[in-house]
Amino acid sequence: MDDRLTGTARAQVEARLLDLSQGGALLQLATALEVGTINDFTLPLDSGSVWVQGEVKRCTPFEGGFQVGVEFVGMDPHDQRRLREYLDRSR
């Protein structure tokens, strides 16, 4: 019997939000993410959280972890509006 498995594993990883815009985010993670992959993220806002799908554009070593630049590629229109309102209030 061949006991090798191949596939994709999902994990929940804590991240520190360094920068946020309508189009993407810069995160600090303990774990590297592969450039080009699409991941699901939950962004905490004052009024709750929004779910986004983001494509990893860069991942570089940073202070014992990694800085990960993500471009948002999928977001519910309601969450887009909530994010825009949050960013407008934060300026």
Identify the structural domains of the chain with CATH numbers, from first to last.
15-86 (2.40.10.220)
Residue-wise pLDDT tens digits, 11-43: 788 899 999 999 999 999 999 999 999 999 999
Instruction: Report the alpha-carbon distance of residue 88 to residue 65 in Å, rounded.
Output: 30
The closest alpha carbon to 35, from 73, 65, 71, belongs to: 71
Give the per-residue pLDDT at 3. Answer: 75
| pLDDT above 90 (res 7) | no
What does pTM read for this prediction?
Answer: 0.84
User: Residue 12: its pLDDT value, please?
Assistant: 81
- Chain mean position to CA 81: 18
What order of strands is seen across the sheet that includes strand 24-29? 15-20, 24-29, 65-75, 48-62, 38-45
Residues 41-76: tens digit of each pLDDT: 999 888 789 999 999 999 999 988 999 999 999 999
Ramachandran area for residue 82 (φ above 0: left; ψ -120 to 50: alpha; else beta): alpha
Sign of CA dihedral 32, 38, 42, 45: positive
